Amino acid sequence: MALIQTVRGVEPKIGENCFLAENATIIGDVVIGDNCSIWYNAVLRGDVNSIRIGNNVNIQDGVVLHTLYEKSQVHIGNYVSLGHNVVVHGAILKDYALIGMGAVVLDNAVVGEGAIVAANALVLANTVIEPNTIWAGVPAKFIKKVDPEQAKEINQKIAHNYTEYASWFMDEEGCKTLSK
């Protein structure tokens, strides 16, 4: 069963039709929207500040979400995909953003709608990534613009794929296989 823990009197809130892997960890001030999937070894640690996650978001294996005490929060829009082993620390990810495997996004960075952060990129604190662009490298730099419809289509497809994958782990009633 996923570890869902209340901290400082705040209990995580989880939307409808969400898959929580048995060893996912969700702590404190975390609000998860509908149709999300939180995969194996993911840690959403809302102990020092809030984490807000939209609908149809997939948080893949090994992802860590955390914040700075009273200084930064995590806000994730709808249809966002966080690849395996991503770290998001106190950043804002707008709708349809795609964060590639192993990327790190630091405090007060903003990843615009439909933007793509390449695998293993390091987005420094306070960086603003424009919508529908690709960024890569250490530190991450602008690579090119992407067609907004193409970015949306790619990111929606990934989100829908993960909704399907999550369904394989859910029971016939559509409930979380593993809940608190």
Mean pLDDT of 44-56: 97
CB neighbours (10 Å) of residue 169? 15
CB 52 within 8 A of CB 59: no
Degrees to nearest 5, angle at CA 95 with 71 and 79:
115
CB 137 within 8 A of CB 178: no
- Which residues are 13's β-sheet partners? 31
Place of tokens 């419809």: 149
| All domains of the chain in start order, with CATH | 3-167 (2.160.10.10)
- Which residues are 4's β-sheet partners? 26
* pLDDT above 90 (res 170): no
Tell me the per-residue pLDDT of 65-80, one tens digit each, with 9 for 90 and over. 999 999 999 999 999 9
Tell me the per-residue pLDDT of 84-140, one tens digit each, with 9 for 90 and over. 999 999 999 999 999 999 999 999 999 999 999 999 999 999 999 999 999 999 999
